[in-house]
Amino acid sequence: MPLLASILLVDDDSTTNFLNQALLRRMEVAQQVLTAENGEQALRTLGQTCLGPDSAACPQLLFLDMNMPVLNGLGFLEAYVQLPLAQQQAIVIVMLTTSLHPLDQTRAEQLPIAGFLNKPLTKEKVTALLEKHFG
């Protein structure tokens, strides 16, 4: 399986980000694991890493929590679809959440996501996801 350039974890729980970052580093699946605590920070991170001279560091995989302050997962996705089309196609977005209201799930399925995973993130979930989308 190829080594990803970058993975972005978007979750307002710093412990969840820490644990997921540790798991991904231990698995050695990406050169870089970035974190953001809400959708607004995630959009800024994508703007910094995906546009311009540093675009090689653009995340290829993004794990997105649904319920966050400032800008939640749906708000992020709605803003994300406004970004340049080539960038949208380059990033695999997976909703990583503890629970999902059926209305939120229906709305999210209309936006550019590759699927849903229940927390916690595990080695098996990551491996299956990588094989499916990058294998």
Total of domains in the chain:
1
Residue 128, domain CATH:
3.40.50.2300
Tokens of 122: 């595990």
Q: pLDDT at position 97, please?
A: 82
Instruction: State the alpha helices, DSSP H only, in the chain.
Output: 14-27, 39-50, 73-80, 85-90, 102-109, 123-134
Identify any residues that bridge with 36 across adjacent strands, giving them in sequence order.
10
Which secondary structure element, helix H or strand E, spans residue 115, and what is its range? strand 115-118
Nearest to 30, CA basis, from 68, 55, 3? 3
- Percentage of residues in the chain having pLDDT higher than 90: 63
Tens digit of each residue's pLDDT (9 = 90 or more) over 50-80: 877 767 789 999 999 999 999 999 999 999 9
Q: Model pTM greater than 0.75?
A: yes
Q: Are 40 and 64 in contact (CB under 8 A)?
A: no
Statement: residue 82 has pLDDT above 90: no
Q: How far apart are CA 69 and CA 121, in angstroms?
A: 21
- Answer with the residue of higher pLDDT: 56 or 135: 135
Which residue segment(s) compose the domain that 69 sits in? Answer: 4-134
Q: How far apart are CA 9 and CA 33, in angstroms?
A: 7
Amino acid at 53: P
